[in-house]
Amino acid sequence: MSTAPKTSAGRHLTKIIGETYMDLHTRASQGAFVVWIAINVPAELFSGFDNVVYSVPESHAALNAGKGVGPVQCEKAEKLGYSIDLCSYARIDIGSVSDGGKDSPTFGLPKPHLLISNTNNCSLLVKWFEVHHREMGVPHFILDVPFCYEPQKEKDRQYILAQFHDLIRTIEALSGQKFDMEKAVRATEHTAEGIIHWKKFLNFAELRPSGITAFDSFVQMAPFLIMRGTEKFVAHYKLLAEETARRVEDGIFPVPDENYRLFWDNIAPWHQLRDMSATLAAHRANIVGATYTFCIGTVEGSFDRYEYDGKDPLEYMARTQNSYVCPHGMSLRSQAMIEAVKRLDIDGIVFASNRSCKPYSVTQMDQQRIMSEKWGIPAIMIDVDHADARKYSKESTFTRLEALLETIESRRAP
């Protein structure tokens, strides 16, 4: 999110996010079968049914944080007895559910018929969905996806696939609807095509000055989370990539006098996007890439997109279960980061130690050491919470960011 006026893709994004949430409420009120899912759950699978709609509490929590109501929602959960040390996404969601979505920009989420969590990002999410399972009396399906320390093993993929088949049977039994594989194929084709445009958009970060900021990419992730598998998803990312190409051709760059190219590690600081990007731009610095967004559409530890072969969509969904960073071991994380650092010609890395997301943060000190000692890349560690603004200090963050810029400058040839 740069401080420049909104682009067509920015306006279009606002429109389709609003439409998607309102459509969700409308279809739920008209009898659709509603599932709540963790972000890793393959949403294309639901397109195989006539009338199943999904919503993503993590994404809804991020939207709350971006709209400035993260702390308000967190406090509701804390008053119910949930610890302030719990992930802020969980606290926002539990807080929002507690009063029927009163402060939510989307009026909350429609009540689910089924909860589907996934173990491969974190086990906290399973416990969080268990709270809803108990409070709402709704069934909870847990997808158990193994952590990965190397490319996915065949036996792990088969284990995941068996669970997808079980999930399909469960939805069929609960909703009374039949699963149609052809529809799931079309949805997966849409996802794969949209990701081609998404990757084109991200690759404008390779230019000097960069054609994008990581803040733009954070904001533009939303369709990947809430409208995968749809024509709307493809159309949006096509618009985004084409508009960015035109802007670059016309010489429009988010930080035209860019002098420092930085890389971000961890979830986006949703409550600080505008302020942080503007303050950095004033220092002629741009965070041009992030592990959080580069991993989308890839498989473990790679930089380029993983291609769909047009065959079994469940195979593709199972193979891409390890795209996100959290389930990766140390060597995969380092491999992915150094690849991005080289391709984007990065001057320094910002490790955002996240008080909420322990699975993302736990390896960061080792990763920082590897990047600095083995690869000679200057790096700092800052303290953030991705959705709870009460745990963020601009002053101490920018003291460290300025120190990073000074270190980069001091290493440059006179």
Q: Is 87 in the site for ligand SF4 (CB under 6 A)?
A: yes
Residues between 335 and 394 that touch ligand SF4 (CB under 6 A): 356-357, 359-360
Q: Would you count residue 124 as binding ligand SF4 (CB under 6 A)?
A: yes
| Number of residues counted as binding ligand SF4 (CB under 6 A) | 13
Per CB under 6 A, the list member of 16, 37, 125, 325 interacting with ligand SF4 is 125
- The closest of 82, 73, 132 to 103, measured between CA atoms, is 73
Name the pairing type of β-strands 33-37 and 114-118: parallel
Stretch that binds ligand SF4, among 122-130, 173-181, 196-204, 392-400 (CB under 6 A): 122-130
> Can residue 122 be called a binding residue for ligand SF4 (CB under 6 A)?
yes
Nearest to 354 by CA among 98, 51, 86, 15: 86
Exposure string for 144-158, b = 16+ CB within 10 A, e = fewer? ebbebeeebeeebbe
Q: Which is nearer to ligand SF4, 87 or 171 (CB)?
A: 87
The residue written with tokens 């389709």 in the block is 16
What DSSP element (H or E) covers 144? none
Return d(Cα 348, Cα 13) in angstroms, integer. 30
Q: Which is nearer to ligand SF4, 39 or 344 (CB)?
A: 39
149/403 with CB nearer ligand SF4: 149
Which range, of 110-118, 120-128, 157-165, 255-263, touches ligand SF4 by CB under 6 A?
120-128
Using an 8 Å Cβ cutoff, are 225 and 59 in contact?
Answer: yes
DSSP string over 20-85: HHHHHHHHHHTT-EEEEE-TTS-GGGGGGSSSEEEE-HHHHHHHHHHTT-HHHHHHHHHHTT--TT
Residues 260-279 that bind ligand SF4 (CB under 6 A): 267
Specify the residue, 7 or 356, whose C-beta has the smaller distance to ligand SF4. 356
* Residue 213 Cβ vs ligand SF4, minimum distance, rounded to whole Å: 22
Residues near ligand SF4 (CB under 6 A) are 58, 87, 89, 121-122, 124-125, 267, 326, 356-357, 359-360
